[in-house]
Structure 1
Amino acid sequence: MGDGHTPGRSRQEDTLENEWETHRPAVFGVAYRLLGTLADAEDVTQDVWLRAAGADLSKVTDLRAWLVTVAARRSYDILRSARLRRETYVGPWLPEPLLTGPDASEPVLVDESVSSAMLLIMEELSPPERVAFVLHDVFGLQFARIAEVLDVAVPSARQLASRARRRVAKAKESAPQAPKAERDRVLATFRAAYESGDLAGLVRLLHPDAVYVTDGGGKIAAARKAIHGGERIAEVMVRVGRQQRPDAIDLIEVGGELALVFRRDGGVYSIDTLQVTDGLITAYRRVLNPEKLAHV
């Protein structure tokens, strides 16, 4: 009677291959949460697979934790260099949209930490704080493993996570996100007003102190600085809508939340996410950089 072992392959190879698809979403998930870009997250995921395939896993008792730790260590290296690249990025930087729900091409671990708003909050953390927060608060890793990734003592890893948690909580308190049903309602109403060029309707939906951020990355025409003020934003949106004339504005799930995808000339022109507080849009974020939309 067979034992499920494939002739010509080691039992480790069989075990890794069988379990890889189960753990791959966690490996990709930690990399995306730390880096905010799909290309880097995919590269890290591939690196982890190659590392695992060539490692002796016979003494590994928790394969998921081992894989996530390797992914975090590689992501941490990239994250530190990415901070320098962001300084030379043209215009505002926004996270690369992560398709979730029925639009996702593969299983994705979805929670609040993959939303654009949360990724931008984590962008304000130092690299060690971000790693400690994601590994402990999102993935539940023990501080001993986190300390290994960061090359610090366990108490220091604990302190980093605690400091990051306080900073995240403070940022969320200053700009609380409305419940899903309310966000979806505001999004649908906004879409109708935008399509009809209803300036007054857009002004009613935008908070007087709202902020509008566009990420073109120097690849496409986009505002190099954030635009502030509900009326000013509405005027810009109406003008841009008349100039660009999208073929369609559809709903799509990004980072676990509904977003708008603007299509033109047979391709995706932008993906827009909204932050809603008390029924009003407080932040409108538009990703225009074609390199960040190629996967859609």
Structure 2
Amino acid sequence: MTAAALEGEWERHRPAVFGVAYRLLGGVADAEDVVQEVWLRASSADLSAVRDLRAWLVTVAARISYNVLKSARVRRESYVGPWLPEPLLTGPDAAEPVLVDESVGTAMLIVMEELTPPERVAFVLHDVFDVPFDQIAEVLDRTSAAARKLASRARQRVAEIRERPPVPRAEHDRVLAAFRAATEAGDLDALIKVLHPEAVYIADGGGKALAARKLVRGAARVAALLVGVEKRRVGSVKAIEVNGEPGLVTYGAAGEVLRIDTFEIAGGRVVSVRRQSNPEKLQHIDHT
């Protein structure tokens, strides 16, 4: 394959390479590092015997990500407060083409974070990217049967997320608009009505931004917290698409990104508010 041909094929398959890395690592910066490493390996490798370049690239990305994921588990154990994935802008705000499906949703990534690294790799490669178990076994240094069992265990763990009925975009937008209006107006009663009685608020500040270090549960408590935070806001709020779903980005007075909120909505109410305010996880988001 000529260099020009490889570059053309690379651009076509790059979203899949990034998609594997992001789903496995939950971080945009980490995924971009993996993409760069995969390109370096592809551009210097003899690919004459490779029949399926996409499968080769995806497998290499998974192998690199698996090594990163194993070391990341140690860092996550000492993480300050709740952990949330790094927000991935999708839709019109995306910086580049992104493969979007249920597996890139915030809720799914949170559940996948609870899987072991081998389970996560087996599930993402097989269920999302259709990689055969014999190739997954090579990445994990396991037998094909063992890889199949890992994927099955992971599938059981994420079943609840996959079985949730999809929320129509119109309903999602309506609920989010009501949530935003009540929050910005400081209308506690209206906000409580938008929230599910058992609504949950989870914030990731990573010890680098002011954020609740424990889950806040219950509509009244979540509403009071959100209204209190909103009173201190000095910038603007913009509706965006994050991880395939509607979300909100809040900017500071100088146009800096302060936080990104994603939501779980069911039955016409907000079930959970997930707030990412760790500045290290917001560096890739453009300022206003």
Q: Where does residue 293 of structure 1 map in the other structure?
A: 282
Write the distance in 2 (CA, Å) between the matches of 1:180 and 1:118. 18
Q: How far did residue 102 of structure 1 move?
A: 0.9
Q: Where does residue 111 of structure 2 map in the other structure?
A: 121
Kept in 1: contact 2:85–2:109 (CA 8 A): yes
Q: How far did residue 172 of structure 1 move?
A: 4.7
Q: Where does residue 181 of structure 1 map in the other structure?
A: 170
Which one of 10, 17, 29 corresponds to residue 27 of structure 1?
17
Q: How far did residue 162 of structure 1 move?
A: 1.3
Q: How far did residue 210 of structure 1 move?
A: 1.3
Q: How far did residue 249 of structure 1 move?
A: 1.4
Gaps of 5+ in 1: 1-10
Q: SS where residue 212 of structure 2 aligns? A: coil
Kept in 1: contact 2:17–2:58 (CA 8 A): yes
Query: Counterpart amino acid of 1:251?
Result: A
Q: Is the counterpart of residue 56 in structure 1 residue 53 in structure 2? A: no
Write the distance in 2 (CA, Å) between the matches of 1:170 and 1:289. 28
Q: Is the counterpart of residue 231 in structure 1 residue 220 in structure 2? A: yes
Q: SS where residue 157 of structure 1 aligns? A: helix
Kept in 1: contact 2:107–2:161 (CA 8 A): no
Q: Where does residue 181 of structure 2 map in the other structure?
A: 192
Q: SS where residue 2 of structure 2 aligns? A: helix
Query: Counterpart amino acid of 1:281?
Result: V
Query: Counterpart amino acid of 1:254?
Result: V
- Please list the CA deviations of residues 263-296 of structure 1 after superposition, one character each: whole Å capped at 9, or x if unmatched: 1212111100010111121110000011111111
Q: Where does residue 203 of structure 2 map in the other structure?
A: 214
- Please list the CA deviations of residues 241-268 of structure 1 after superposition, one character each: whole Å capped at 9, or x if unmatched: 112x242211001111110111121211
Change (3 A) 1:228 1:131: same
Write the distance in 2 (CA, Å) between the matches of 1:111 and 1:171. 12
Write the distance in 2 (CA, Å) between the matches of 1:275 and 1:289. 20
Write the distance in 1 (CA, Å) between the matches of 2:166 and 2:75. 29
Q: SS where residue 8 of structure 2 aligns? A: helix
Q: Where does residue 7 of structure 1 map in the other structure?
A: none
Q: SS where residue 158 of structure 2 aligns? A: helix
* Count of residues paired in the alignment: 284
Q: Where does residue 248 of structure 2 map in the other structure?
A: 260
Write the distance in 1 (CA, Å) between the matches of 2:160 and 2:97. 31
Q: Is the counterpart of residue 97 in structure 1 residue 97 in structure 2? A: no
The RMSD of aligned alpha carbons is: 1.3
Query: Counterpart amino acid of 1:108?
Result: V
Query: Counterpart amino acid of 1:37?
Result: G
Q: How far did residue 176 of structure 1 move?
A: 5.6
Query: Counterpart amino acid of 2:239?
Result: L
Q: How far did residue 179 of structure 1 move?
A: 3.1
Which one of 231, 254, 266 corresponds to residue 277 of structure 1?
266
Runs of 4+ in 1 over 6 A off after TM superposition: none
Write the distance in 1 (CA, Å) between the matches of 2:161 and 2:127. 16
Q: How far did residue 171 of structure 1 move?
A: 4.7
Write the distance in 2 (CA, Å) between the matches of 1:230 and 1:256. 25
Kept in 2: contact 1:133–1:165 (CA 8 A): yes
Kept in 2: contact 1:274–1:284 (CA 8 A): yes
Query: Counterpart amino acid of 1:57?
Result: L
Kept in 2: contact 1:177–1:276 (CA 8 A): no
Q: How far did residue 220 of structure 1 move?
A: 1.2
Q: SS where residue 281 of structure 1 aligns? A: strand
- Please list the CA deviations of residues 93-144 of structure 1 after superposition, one character each: whole Å capped at 9, or x if unmatched: 1000001111111111111111111111111111111111110111111111
Normalised TM-score (structure 1):
0.93
Kept in 2: contact 1:248–1:263 (CA 8 A): yes
Q: SS where residue 284 of structure 1 aligns? A: strand
Normalised TM-score (structure 2):
0.95
Query: Counterpart amino acid of 2:199?
Result: A
Q: How far did residue 228 of structure 1 move?
A: 1.0
Query: Counterpart amino acid of 1:101?
Result: G
Which is higher, the Rg of structure 1 or of structure 2?
1
Q: SS where residue 113 of structure 1 aligns? A: helix
Q: How far did residue 190 of structure 1 move?
A: 0.3
Kept in 1: contact 2:102–2:162 (CA 8 A): no
Which one of 136, 144, 160 corresponds to residue 170 of structure 1?
160
